[in-house]
Structure 1
Amino acid sequence: MYRRIHEAIIQSPPIDDFDIFKELKDQNFFESQESVIALCTHLQELRKTIEDLDENQLKNEFFKILQISLWGNKCDLSLSGGEHISQKTNIMNSLEDLKPFILVNDMDRLWSLLSNYKKTRQKESVTRVDIVLDNSGFELITDLVLAEFLLSSQLATKIHFYGKTIPWFVSDTTLHDFNWIIKQLKHSNNKWVSQCGVDWEDHIKTGRWVYLDHIFWTLPHDFSTMSQVAPDLHAALQKAHLIFFKGDLNYRKLTGDRRWEFTIPFREALSGFHPAPLCSIRTLKAEVQVGLQPGQGEQLTASEPNWLTTGKYGVFQFDGPL
């Protein structure tokens, strides 16, 4: 459907570069200003002291930033049919209350991987983290905050972002959305928000942040076919030290959107897709979920029949070297 919409637009000059979802995405950002300010303020204050944190404190801050990125995935206009979904409260105040809704939590494995890279990295070597983006608006802010934390903490030295080549699933991120968000932050009246925009624009100019897109992300193939359908993209991902896949659609494509048993291991559901260590950061909005404990899915179904599709629950699901 989204390709058909795009096809109609590009054949209709002078609106051939028009994004019919732009107004909705922009509104999501503007309606989330309270949370954007709180998040940017927290980030800038954290950056002042980050070098003084001991390993356990840094780990705890990493986990907070990861959870913010997870719950930012609730702001999905495709789930709401385009109706307004914004983050109007300070999400950091809710992290403890939301922890019981994380069904698979591999954050410790992520910390072990990245902290080991940091400890063993040679002076001029690079640790690259790739983030396959989902929604623009508030969720994109949470992903940029995660990327900034990775650089500031030296858990990574370079970030590659992957977005969509065309307007997609209402609120998915395009290059225009990515640049527009950073520009809006840079010109904010709030000093901490503005500082984030200035810093992030500088990261792009210096090459520490790189935005990329590829037509494969908007094709109907699941990711296990990537090495055959888009070998250039697969080869690029193989150079990453860790790949974050944000959101529900990416999870569906990671797992082939099949009705797996809940207890099937995540690695098995990837069907051979292992370009690099990877992690799905996802709130559940579709009827596919793997890697649960025996009985876990059945208990949720008995108590909440729609648990797979409401966005109430989330996962950090990691696949790394055996």
Structure 2
Amino acid sequence: MEEYGEEGVEDLKAIAGRMSKLKNEVQTNKHVIALEDDGSDTAIWNQYLDEETAKHREAPCWFKSAWLYVECYMYRRIKEAVHLSKLLKTLDVFCDQKRHGFVSSQASIITLVEHLKEVIPTLQWAEKNREVFQQYLEVCLWGNKCDLSISAGSENFQKTSPIQQLAMLKPHILRDDTEKLWEKLTTAQKANPGKVRLDIVLDNAGFELVTDLCLAEVLIAMGLVNTVHFHGKTMPWFVSDVTTDDWEWTVEQFHASNNATMSEFGRKWRKYLTDKTWVYKVHDFWCLPFDYSEMRMRSADLYKDLAQADAILLKGDLNYRKLVGDLNWDPATPFDTALRGFHPAPLCSLRALKADVVVGLKPEQAKEVESQDPKWMTNGNWSVICYSGLREA
């Protein structure tokens, strides 16, 4: 009322009405319908709906269609519910939950950045670099446990020291290609000193984004990487994914913090963004229903951009599902095979398992883990660091 007046209240009521309609469609297994807003991606979504309808001779519906498609479509409909309003077109309905997640993780964030501050001066000794690289890659990996789409938006934040947890969590990494990523980056730095670019395809805001920033800081500080390109989402997506507003808000929270160490890194990271050491960018493709094997055909410009990187880190469960097509793979299928031609640059997926698809494991490894934990594929307590060194010519 204070900011928008009565018209803003009417907008909220209309948004709630459209959400209610969507909920009913899901619950009653209705057919997927075309989008009606004027988004830059609306025509693409509607064309894909036509393609799926022609392929299956009927429109997709909620209980029978590929889950990756209808799940993405649901978040796009939430965006539409907001975008059709008059005054609240840019409202992020998940904003409060994401910011609460950041604030609730404050003690762990301070512990992490104070550790980071202590570590950076030690990086002048080369033998220390390998250990710190692995440590912060694992922090970045396990930060992915803080996912609000999995917890249905309820509290899911970091409460303890992430560094102290690493030894306990180590046995839960089912595949660990850390050494391959290290070798790739060190080799790239030797081959092209001072010009190594790493791309990070972001996942969740809040604590996980902080771990991404800390890893990027470590890689810059040790001289292993010279520029980092971060890829965020163009709209609120899977509850907690990073949008431009989340990115800018997080950096500002560091810069304006009463904690001296957070403020120091906030100033440093602002400088990185100014001098292009760090680059933040968005692209519609990250919020489309396609898996990544279709990127070259559907969004050639993004594929070409990623091909400029020396390596790509893809964070989280949804990025992993889109890498391997969310298909019913045998868990022992090679990771390279499951990528199905998506090779713009060498890439590494950091993922806590939250959906029942996984590849790249050793024969019988899946059965062994299932005997320990029947919900191992979905509870976020197990993880993989999967590397592919292929690059399409």
TM-score interval, smaller chain = over 0.9
The one-letter code matched in structure 2 to 1:234 is Y
Moved more, 298-307 or 61-70: 298-307
- Deviation track 1:78-113 (CA, whole Å, cap 9, x = no partner) reads 000000111011111110111000000000111111
Q: 1:82 aligns with which of 153, 164, 169?
A: 153
- Structure 1 residue 121: Cα displacement: 2.6
Aligned partner of 1:121 in structure 2 is 192
Aligned partner of 2:82 in structure 1 is 9
Query: What are the equivalent positions in structure 2 for 1:232-251 lying under 5 Å apart?
Result: 232-251=301-320
Q: 1:31 aligns with which of 81, 85, 104?
A: 104
The one-letter code matched in structure 2 to 1:286 is A
Match of 2:234, SS?
A: coil
Aligned partner of 1:285 in structure 2 is 354
The one-letter code matched in structure 1 to 2:390 is P
User: Is residue 120 of structure 2 the alignment partner of residue 47 of structure 1?
Assistant: yes
Moved more, 62-71 or 107-116: 107-116
The one-letter code matched in structure 2 to 1:300 is V
Aligned partner of 1:20 in structure 2 is 93
| Counterpart-to-counterpart distance in 1, 2:234 and 2:299 | 15
Query: What are the equivalent positions in structure 2 for 1:231-310 lying under 5 Å apart?
Result: 231-310=300-379
Structure number with larger C-alpha Rg:
2
Contact 2:189-2:195 within 8 A present in 1 as well: no
Aligned partner of 1:213 in structure 2 is 282
- Deviation track 1:258-277 (CA, whole Å, cap 9, x = no partner) reads 01001000000000000000
The one-letter code matched in structure 2 to 1:187 is A
Query: What are the equivalent positions in structure 2 for 1:129-278 lying under 5 Å apart?
Result: 129-278=198-347
- Structure 1 residue 10: Cα displacement: 1.3
| Counterpart-to-counterpart distance in 1, 2:372 and 2:155 | 28
| Counterpart-to-counterpart distance in 2, 1:22 and 1:177 | 8
Contact 2:79-2:235 within 8 A present in 1 as well: yes
Over aligned residues, Cα RMSD in angstroms? 1.0
| Counterpart-to-counterpart distance in 1, 2:188 and 2:312 | 14
- The gaps in structure 1 that reach 5 residues or longer are none
What is the count of residue pairs matched by the alignment?
318
- Structure 1 residue 196: Cα displacement: 1.1
- The gaps in structure 2 that reach 5 residues or longer are 1-73
Moved more, 41-50 or 23-32: 41-50
Q: Which structure carries more relative contact order (alpha carbon 8 Å, separation 6+)?
A: 1
Aligned partner of 1:111 in structure 2 is 182
| Counterpart-to-counterpart distance in 1, 2:78 and 2:191 | 48
- Deviation track 1:262-302 (CA, whole Å, cap 9, x = no partner) reads 10000000000000000000000000000101100011223
- Structure 1 residue 54: Cα displacement: 2.5
